[in-house]
Amino acid sequence: MPEWMEYVAARSALGLLGALPRPMARAVGVGMVRVLYWLRPELSRTAHWNLSLAFPEWTAKQRRRTIRGVIRQVGWMAGEFAHFPRYTRESIERVVLLDGFENFAAARERGKGVLFLTGHMSAWELAPFAQSLFGHPLYFLARPVENRRVDALVNHYRCLSGNQPINKNASARTVLTLLRQGQTVGVLIDHNTSREEGVFVKFFGVPACTTSGLARLALRTGAAVVPGFLLWDATMGKYRLRFEPAVELARTGDDERDVVEDTARFTEVVEAFVRNHPDQWLWVHKRWKTRPPGEPPIYPF
């Protein structure tokens, strides 16, 4: 599809969903994601394969039920994202509950900045947006979308509440400066990365190439690493933005060893959330694509 058509399609979808009442926008978003999932069979293959690796004891029925939950969560996120221009401090309280905020506040009081450890859980785009509306804006690392006009459109919506993006491909110096100023920087660490950018740590018992940048930044600056994940709470009928206590870092003096150990600790935090809420994580991503040297590909397709 030509770039201009991609842009028109993205803008039209956001306009359509944004014009609908929130419940209808979320429902239509689910329908859109279902169609996309059906049109791209590789997403289904990847999701089933990932779930087989993570939960080998599960039946096909359990995997299908979990994938339906993932589609629902991503569809709901599309509706929420389109409604970003409508949200205010007053209205966001009806959508998102802050949980464990004292953990974030305590980390910020250290005065060395906060690294917000998060992942692709539930409506993950809503997490930093809501946090900013609650009065705590942040900077977030983001890999640019190849289509520049679509990238600008997406970042326009992301920044409506006061957040600012940082290009993930040229971020180190900028992040160091921000942390020295006591700012908060959000980092998604649950996707596959290259051997050059990551280290191998266990994720559901399988070595997964994971970005080492978060650990390197934390060890260099002394910034607190605070896990924060957005989860859908069906009982309340709203999202719960949960902050955990800062992760204790390994500091043995062996820098590379500490990077691997701390990255493993961060990944354990992510895995715990995914295990507790498997239908809210993005299983369609090839998390174990990059393999250690000499290992064959883990995905047979």
145 Cα distance to chain centroid: 15
Alpha carbons 9 and 11: distance in angstroms, whole number: 6
CA distance linking residue 142 with residue 146, whole number of Å: 12
Whether the per-residue pLDDT at 170 is higher than 80: the answer is: no
Q: Could you say which DSSP state residue 279 is in?
A: G
Domain membership of residue 172 (yes or no) is: yes
Return the structure tokens found at 208.
């997964």
Residues 22-62 have pLDDT tens digits of 999 999 999 999 999 999 999 999 999 999 999 999 999 99
Domain assignment of residue 55, yes or no:
no
Number of Cβ within a 10 Å radius of residue 168: 16
Q: Average pLDDT, stretch 57-70?
A: 98
Give burial (CB, 10 Å; 0-12/13-18/19+) of 146: exposed
Q: How confident is the model at residue 168 (pLDDT cuts 50, 70, 90)?
A: confident
**Residue 149 domain-assigned?**
yes
Q: For residue 229, give the H/E element and its range.
A: strand 224-233
> Of 140, 114, 104, 111, which Cα lies nearest the Cα of 224?
114
Q: Is 226 exposed, middle or buried (0-12, 13-18, 19+ CB in 10 A)?
A: buried
Which SS3 state, helix, strand or coil, does residue 125 take? coil
Domain count, the chain: 1
Closest CA to 197 of 212, 216, 217, 215: 212
Please check whether residue 198 lies inside any domain of the structure. yes
In a domain, 71, yes or no: no
The span from the CA of 12 to the CA of 83, in Å, is 13
Mean pLDDT of 89-101: 96
DSSP secondary structure, 10-25, as one string: HHHHHHHHHHS-HHHH
Q: Is residue 110 part of a domain?
A: yes
Residues 6+ apart with CB under 8 A from 105: none
Specify if 57 maps to a domain.
no
Lookup: tokens for 21: 């009442």
Asked if residues 197 and 170 have their Cβ atoms less than 8 Å apart, the reply is no
Per-residue CA distances from 239 to 87, 91, 94, 168, 234 (Å) = 14, 13, 9, 27, 8
Give the torsion through C-alpha atoms of 245, 247, 251, 255, to 10 deg: -150
Mean pLDDT of the chain: 96
Contacts of 233 (CB under 8 A, 6+ apart): 97, 239, 240
User: In angstroms, rounded to a whole number, what is the distance separating the alpha carbons of residues 142 and 165?
Assistant: 6
pLDDT by residue (tens digit) across 174-197?
A: 999 999 999 999 999 999 999 999
pTM beyond 0.85, yes or no: yes
Examine residue 66 and state whether it is found in any structural domain, yes or no: no
Domain assignment of residue 106, given as a range: 90-280
